[in-house]
Chain A
Amino acid sequence: MTDPSRTEAPRSGPPAGGTGARGRTSPGERWASPQMREHLRRRYRAERRFERAGRAAIGLALLGLAVLLATVGANGFQAFRTTELRLDVFFDPQVFAGLDTASADERDQLLARADYGALVRSALERLFPDVEGRSARRALLGLVSSGARDELRDRVTADPSLIGTTHALWVLADDEVDRYWKGEVSEDLSEGERRLSDEQLSWIGGLAASGRLRTAFATRFFTSGDSRDPELAGIWGAVVGSFLTLVVTLTIAFPLGVSAAAYLEEFAARNRFTDLIEVNVNNLAAVPSIVFGLLGLAVFLNFFHLPRSAPLVGGLTLALMTLPTIIITSRVAIEAVPPSIREAARGLGASPVQVVLHHVLPLAMPGILTGTIIGMARALGETAPLLMIGMVAFVADVPGGFRDASTALPVQIFLWADSPERAFVEKTSGAILVLLGFLIVMNGTAIWLRRRFERRW
């Protein structure tokens, strides 16, 4: 065995019981000799070095975590705030020409199709009357999000009596304005390096000076689906998609996993077949998740022709992936129930199945649930298998059922992280914060369950 600390020791200096000092000196003298002291000092130095290395290792790991969380937190916090712009919108009756004579059906059509962009444009031009030229006007219109039109439409559809009146309304600003107003665009950049021109910046300055800009809580981020425009994009569609997916995963993986664990722990004879099942379970727990995605693609999509991008298929695929985890944790929980419980139940005349159903499983349930929640948390954070079954499609609608095209929270994060617009960086971080929030709640519940209900026998 090679020992670094010993090879470091000086050749001349005698280690304890070394050859050089044998016989002539007493043990006390030997320990007090300068070589020995030096040797001891070296050993202690090595000891301290080792401890420092250990401390540094932990420090590095935690540093990684800290930087990660700080980056996500600092960016993600911004996603929860959005910039709004106050416009005095005149609901010009000319835009809604013909509304008085229209029938009820035509009325709805007219209201839905009216040129709300013109309302936004004229409101802006009234604010900045000296803006001339097509490109300047387009730049001016660029300050307002394209979602402002939809906002006006929703208001007018809800209350047609607005037509002909002027209202001061807060509408969403464009994502670049949003970033500038939050201070995310460096002031030192030259005009060519910015997305906003100097002219636009001066308009923004004018708006700010007249109190027409404000930062508000980004309700939209939590209530709407995906969008190509960063300021309109929200995570609700992804959250619903993830929820539907997990519902499918849970309804499949939980009963299957607990049954399998109960069989393996309580009923299975020790034979080759059982060993084979065990080897399979243990291996599947370590198979890369993307392989499960390939399985889902080949089996559920290409063989069973289930709909692509659907939470149903995503849930099935994730169920196959979490099944081994649930089996393993459930087995541990079932194993922890002491044999005396089983023997007492048997002694009172319960059949083996009754022992398991009436006594072992209820007692093991806290442990099983803990394992299941942890498995579900893993499934919630999983992305790769979902990419394989087509859940990466751009889906703007909030899914309404298990067969609707949908996306999931981690996939949404992946999609936004891939988007070129800088404003998606904060959206991505915001979505990550929401995802981490869900994971913390789930894992916290698992820990609470364990503390509250698990018995030490």
Chain B
Amino acid sequence: MSLLLLLLATISVLAGVGFWMARRRALAAVAAGPARLRSLPGYYGWYAALWSALPAVAVAAVWLSAAPTVIRSLTLASVPAASLPHDPAKLELFVNDVRNIASGGIASASADEVALRAADRYAALRRRGFEATLALVFAVGVAGAVWGVRRVRPELAARVRVEGVLRLALLLCSTMAILITIGIVLSLVFETGRFFDKVPATEFLFGTHWSPQTALRADQVGSSGSFGAIPIFVGTLLITGIAMVVAVPIGLLSAIYMTFYATSRTRDVTKPLLEILAGVPTVVYGFFAALVVAPAVREAGAWVGLSVASESALAAGLVMGIMIIPFISSLSDDSITAVPISLRDGSYGLGATRSETIRSVIVPAALPGIVGGFLLAVSRAIGETMIVVMAAGLAANLTLNPLEAVTTVTVQIVTLLTGDQEFDSSKTLAAFALGLTLFLVTLVLNVAALSIVKRYREKYD
């Protein structure tokens, strides 16, 4: 970290010096003569500063991204090939040991003389590499600054150049959104591909038995390792369904009540309260579900003579429903208030009561928006993690009974990835396959919802 700071400090100081010199040179050039600067003096300063900083940053970035690989292969090359482990996994462990020793950390028990010597080499290489980079960054920074300062002339269009760079930077920032999407898709698809090498895709998509316990050792018993995800999908849909049954009527009705019936005083009180409901972190809902709702559901079940699992789908679904109420309510509110007032007045004018107007005019007119909001809410419920992790079960039961424990996609992702398995096991890779499924399903829902809402909005504008 401090090395990085040193690099950054070097670059900024050089850029600062470049700025100052270029600005002074620009002012000096016009101090005597009749010539006038084409841009404000500061732009000449920025011009030289950019010339100094950008190449230097590029050099530093190249080193920082290449260093681990280069140092690793150089270190390994220095170790006699005979004393290196052949197994790739063990080699990785060896490299990790070397890295840890080199950073002054603790190595695993298998560290030996070879590793120690390699670690010395590793540390030396790293130090030398860093020193070389610092020197190179300094040289490039100075050269850039000199080049930039020397090009400063009154007739140079410094502002145009600087602004061009700035606009390019802004463009790059906005492509981040695309890069993130590409990153998500690539990382998920890549790992999922490796998963499907081990487990056929058809078994994953259509299998009805989920039991991801893979063996740590080949001879271990109890490794069932079957990856049929149907029970998980069904469980997810069950909990989502319960949440929707709770959230849609309550959310929609409260949005309608707020717009048509509530006095402005009631509205001023209830709206912020609903916003609080929306702002409560999901982990708090999860705690609430596990501590209060699940036992309450179980006792209520026992009271009417039903046996309810202690981690029932009902409890998780109920709490998720409460969480989604403000979401549905605010989205329905938006689409209801977007209905032109003339439709409402027309309905009143024909003698309809308020509820008749709402049911036969407002809601049908706002339906696309409401459906869009519903789809977004479904997408949110499917992707919701903490409530189900804390209140729903781990057992992948294939059932539609809300009183039993079911598991969901997000629960499985969390349990598969927070364990101690090595990263390449089909167990951890399965999490990425589930993640890809989750991403695709929510993507389809979001695109559908956004396009419905967009089309609807155009209708009345």
Binding site for B on A (CB under 8 A): 1, 3-5, 16, 43-44, 46-47, 49-51, 53-58, 60-62, 64-65, 67-68, 71-72, 255-256, 259-264, 267-268, 276-277, 279-284, 286-292, 294-295, 297-299, 302, 305, 320, 323-324, 327, 351-353, 377, 380-384, 387-388, 390, 392, 401-403, 410-411, 413-414, 417-418, 425, 428-429, 432, 435-436, 439, 443
Contact = CB atoms under 8 A, between A and B. Distances in A.
B183 A295 contact: yes
A323 B277 contact: no
A71 B322 CA distance: 15
Nearest to A352: B163
Contacts of A267: 167, 170-171
Nearest to A410: B283
A393 to B, nearest CB: 9
B257 A263 contact: no
Interface stretch (B20-28, B143-151, B375-383): B375-383
B58 interface: no
Contacts of B273: 62, 65
Contacts of B423: 302
Contacts of A302: 423
Cβ-closest 9 pairs across A and B: A288-B383, A54-B257, A381-B281, A298-B187, A57-B253, A50-B355, A259-B173, A384-B385, A260-B174
Contacts of A53: 253
A64 B386 contact: no
Given A65-B277, A410-B281, A4 B288 contact: no
B333 to A, nearest CB: 12
Interface in B85-101: none
Contacts of A47: 353-356
Contact of A58 (B173, B254, B385): B254
Q: Which of A43, A65, A67, A292 has the most CB of B within 10 A?
A: A65
A51 B257 contact: yes
Contact of B282 (A50, A381, A425, A439): A381
- Interface SS of chain A: helix, strand, loop or mixed? helix
Contact of B435 (A61, A291, A387): A291
Contacts of B292: 67-68, 71
B282 A286 contact: no
A271 B258 CA distance: 40
B114 interface: no
Given A299-B187, A353-B166, A280 B181 contact: yes
A72 B286 CA distance: 12
Contact of A260 (B159, B170, B270, B431): B170
Contacts of B173: 255-256, 259-260, 263
B353 A43 contact: yes
A62 B270 contact: yes
Contacts of A295: 180, 183-184, 187-188
A429 B292 CA distance: 12
B279 A58 contact: no
A383 B282 contact: yes
A287 B188 CA distance: 14
B102 to A, nearest CB: 14
Nearest to A16: B351
18 contacts: A50-B358, A51-B355, A61-B274, A61-B325, A68-B285, A68-B288, A71-B292, A256-B173, A262-B170, A287-B439, A295-B188, A302-B423, A323-B176, A380-B281, A381-B282, A387-B418, A410-B283, A425-B291
B287 A294 contact: no
Contacts of A16: 351
B195 to A, nearest CB: 13
Bin chain B's interface residue count: 35 or more
Contacts of B450: 282-283
Contacts of B287: 72, 413, 417, 428-429, 432
B364 interface: yes
Nearest to B270: A58
A401 B4 CA distance: 14
Contacts of B252: 57
Contact of A388 (B184, B270, B417): B417
Given A290-B414, A291-B438, 17 more contacts: A46-B355, A58-B258, A61-B322, A71-B292, A263-B171, A267-B171, A282-B446, A283-B447, A284-B177, A287-B383, A288-B439, A288-B442, A294-B431, A295-B187, A414-B283, A432-B284, A435-B281
A327 B376 contact: no
B346 interface: no
Contact of A264 (B174, B258, B284, B286): B174
B36 to A, nearest CB: 14
Contact of B277 (A64, A289, A320, A390): A64
B276 interface: yes
Contact of B360 (A1, A43, A353): A1
A323 B3 CA distance: 28
B404 interface: no
Contacts of A260: 170, 173-174, 176-177
Nearest to A385: B385
Contact of A71 (B282, B291, B326): B291
B383 A289 contact: yes
B64 to A, nearest CB: 10
B386 A58 contact: no
B325 A439 contact: no
Interface in B262-297: 262, 270, 273-274, 276-277, 279-288, 290-292
Nearest to B274: A61
A351 B176 contact: no
A54 B332 CA distance: 14
Contact of A284 (B180, B188, B355): B180
Contacts of B359: 3-5, 50
A267 B166 CA distance: 11
B261 interface: yes
A294 B187 contact: yes
Contacts of B177: 260, 277, 280-281, 284, 323-324, 327
Contact of B178 (A71, A276, A320): A276
A282 B191 CA distance: 25
B435 A413 contact: no
A291 B383 contact: yes
Nearest to B282: A383
Contacts of A68: 280, 284-285, 288, 292, 322
Nearest to A256: B173
Contacts of A62: 270, 273-274
A377 B279 contact: yes
Contacts of A65: 273, 276-277, 280
B432 interface: yes
Nearest to A433: B284
A113 to B, nearest CB: 22
B240 interface: no
Contact of A54 (B254, B276, B290): B254
Contacts of A284: 177, 180-181
A421 to B, nearest CB: 14
B404 to A, nearest CB: 22
A287 B442 contact: yes
A439 B279 contact: yes
B288 A57 contact: no
Contacts of A410: 281, 283
Contacts of A287: 184, 383, 439, 442-443, 446
A3 B256 CA distance: 17
Contacts of A280: 177-178, 180-181
